[in-house]
Each structure stands twice: as structure tokens, then as C-alpha cells.
Structure 1
Amino acid sequence: MSTRTLYLFSSAAPPVFDIAHVIEDAQADGWDVCLGLTPAAARWLQDSLDGLAALTGRPVRWDYKLPGEPDVWPKADAILVAPATFNTVNAWALGLTDKFVVGVVAEGIGKRIPMAVMPCVNAAYVQHPQFERSMDTLRGAGVTVLYGEGGFVPNQPGQGNPAAYPWRLALDAVRDLPQTD
């Protein structure tokens, strides 16, 4: 079995602090992992970025490369966006690509890269009418959405338990995404 490349994209939500374990689990599942972060998540993990790069064997990215620079990552076979904050979900669905990870996944829809997203938002955020529209937009674009029953279930503000974030569910879902050539 050949190794497949997984782009693991994470936003600044508390479960991101477990990302090293998630990378290890994905690698145990046979993935070559490339880690991309939102700028806020990169700030949260700044003391760990060198170690995360060593773990993946690739630079951790949170910004677009400059014109003419070579791409330092192989082509993605699948993309997992988790934890995905309210901002990341809505920016992706609306096509607002000022952040590297959102730009890659927005383009990934057109490239037909198999993708899954698992939000990490509280119950107050999901009351905003744009959130459900964004979830529907991503589903309609072919993204596997792990939200609600059988996915991430929002908690009340301030009541989240980062250790309960269902990372294994997300990794299993990305494993089961259809393969493309």
C-alpha cells in the first residue's frame, strides 16, 4: 500500500493543542501528514512549530508562499479541516481566501480533492444564521461535514472539553473519503 498525503488544517480552537497526537495517529493510519494552520493557531502553537515540522517531516504552513517559490508539500490526496472555527467555516463557505488554509480548501473544491471538515464551535455561535448556511454550502460542494449527530456536537459557551473532541471520528471519516487519481 502506498502512502497517501493528508493535509491536516487546523484553526485556533482548544483541540488544536492535541495536534501532535493527531498527526501520530494519522501517520499510524498510513498518511503522510502536512500540517497547515490559521495564523491564530500558529501563534497558539508557536513554541511547538519546530517539533511539529520534525514530526511531519515537512514545514508547518500558515501563510501563502511567495510567487516563484517552489511548493514544499506534495499534492494532497485528502484534506481534513479540524478543528474548524466559526470563522474558518464561514470564510470557506463564502470563498473568503485571505488565509492560506481557507484558500487551499476553497480551491480544493474545484480540484475535487476529497475533504472533510469537523467544526469546533459553541452553541451560541451556531445560532447565527450564517453557520447553518455555511454547513449546507460545504455539504453541497461535496465536503464531508462532521457536525451534529455522528460528528461534533456544540457545547454551551465556556463548557467545552477539548479532550472530548472526536479526533478519531475525523480521522476515520477522512480515511473513508473516496479516492481520486
Structure 2
Amino acid sequence: MTSRTLYLFASAAPPTFEVARVIETAQADGWDVCLGLTPTAARWLSDSLDGLAALTGHPVRSEYKLPGEPDVWPKADVILFAPATFNSINSWALGITSTFVVGVVAEGIGKGIPTVAMPCVNAAYATHRQLNRSIAELREQGIMVLYGEGGFEPNPSGSGSPQGYPWGLALEAAKQKADRA
């Protein structure tokens, strides 16, 4: 069986610290995983980047490549952006592509790459009206956003736990999205 390629993108939120386990779970399900991180998430995981690259067999990316440099990853069959922070969701919906992962998912809309996003925001951020506008915008453009009932539900500020993040739901949604493509 030929493996399919999953781009796993993560912003700087506590569930990012579980990314190695998530990669192993996806690999056990037959995915070739390429890991992309926002710059802050890359800083959070800086001591683990070499190990994560060894685990995936691909460089971990957090920056755009230089013009003329070859692409070091295979083509994506699906993108899973989880956890996606308040900043990343809003930047993506508004087309502000100052970070590598947001640039790839924004371009992925035009390329027709099946994409799933699962935010990770606390209840204080969730009250900001722009978040719901951004989620609606992404959904209108065909992005499956796992937020609210049946997806990620915000916790009170300071009470979240990385272990409570529904990674299994996100991986299953990515698999279903790829299967329908």
C-alpha cells in the first residue's frame, strides 16, 4: 500500500507538546507525516526538532524556503492544522501569510488541498467576534473546522490541558477528508 502524505501543522498551544505521539498515531494509520510549525511553536519544541525530523523522515519546517530552493516535502494529500491558535485562524481567514504554515494553508485553498483545522483557544479568546467570523470564512472556503459541538470546545482561561485536546477526532476527520478527495 502506498502511504498518503499528511501535512501536520501546529501553532503554539499546549497540545503541540503531544505532537510526537500524534505523528506516531498517524504513521500507524499509514500516513507519511510532514510537520510544520509556527515560529513560536518551533521555539517551544526547539529541543525536540531533530528527533521530530527523525521520526517523520522529513525536515520540520517553520519558515518559507528561499526562492529557487527545492521543495523538501512530498505533495500533501491532506493538511491537518491542529492546534490552530486564535492568531493563526484569524491570519489565515484574512489572508495574512506572514508564517510558513499559514501561507501553505492559505494557498492550499486555491490548490484544492483537503484541509482540516481544529482551533485551540481559551474561552476569553472565544468571545472575540473575529474568531467566529474567521471560522465562518474558512468553512465557506471548504475548510473543515472542528470547533464547537462535535469539535474543540474552549476551556476557561488557564484551565486547559494538553491531554484533553481531541487529537483522535482531528486525525479521523483528516482521514475522511482525504478519502473523499
Q: TM-score range by the shorter chain?
A: over 0.9
Q: CA deviation at 1:179?
A: 4.4
Match of 1:51 in 2: 51
Match of 1:96 in 2: 96
User: What's the secondary structure of 1:124's corresponding residue?
Assistant: helix
Q: Which runs of structure 2 are paired with 1:9-24 in the superposition (5 Å)? A: 9-24=9-24
Equivalent-residue separation in structure 1 for 2:145 and 2:57 (angstroms): 28
Q: Which runs of structure 2 are paired with 1:105-124 in the superposition (5 Å)? A: 105-124=105-124
Task: Indicate yes or no: 2:163 matched with 1:163.
Answer: yes
Match of 2:32 in 1: 32
Equivalent-residue separation in structure 2 for 1:125 and 1:46 (angstroms): 26
For 1:60, the aligned partner's letter is V
User: Between Structure 1 and Structure 2, how many residues are aligned?
Assistant: 181
CA gap 1:97/1:83 in 2 versus in 1, 3 angstroms: same
Equivalent-residue separation in structure 2 for 1:159 and 1:138 (angstroms): 27
User: What's the secondary structure of 1:150's corresponding residue?
Assistant: coil
User: What's the secondary structure of 1:153's corresponding residue?
Assistant: coil
String of CA shifts for 1:147-179, please: whole Å, max 9, x gaps: 011100000000101101000000000000044
For the 8 Å contact 2:77–2:113, the answer to whether it is kept is: yes
CA RMSD of aligned residues (A): 1.0
For the 8 Å contact 1:10–1:36, the answer to whether it is kept is: yes
Q: CA deviation at 1:65?
A: 0.2
String of CA shifts for 1:118-146, please: whole Å, max 9, x gaps: 00000110111100000000100000110
TM-score, normalised relative to structure 1? 0.98
Match of 1:70 in 2: 70
TM-score, normalised relative to structure 2? 0.98
For the 8 Å contact 1:11–1:40, the answer to whether it is kept is: yes
Q: CA deviation at 1:112?
A: 0.6
Match of 2:153 in 1: 153
For 1:22, the aligned partner's letter is V
Q: CA deviation at 1:2?
A: 1.8
Give runs of ≥4 in structure 1 deviating > 6 Å. Answer: none
For the 8 Å contact 2:77–2:178, the answer to whether it is kept is: no
For 2:109, the aligned partner's letter is I
Match of 1:2 in 2: 2
String of CA shifts for 1:53-101, please: whole Å, max 9, x gaps: 0000000000000001000000000000000000000000000001000
**Which segments of 5 or more consecutive residues in structure 1 lack a partner in the other structure?**
none
For 1:170, the aligned partner's letter is A
For 1:68, the aligned partner's letter is G
**Which segments of 5 or more consecutive residues in structure 2 lack a partner in the other structure?**
none
Q: CA deviation at 1:36?
A: 0.1
Equivalent-residue separation in structure 2 for 1:58 and 1:71 (angstroms): 11
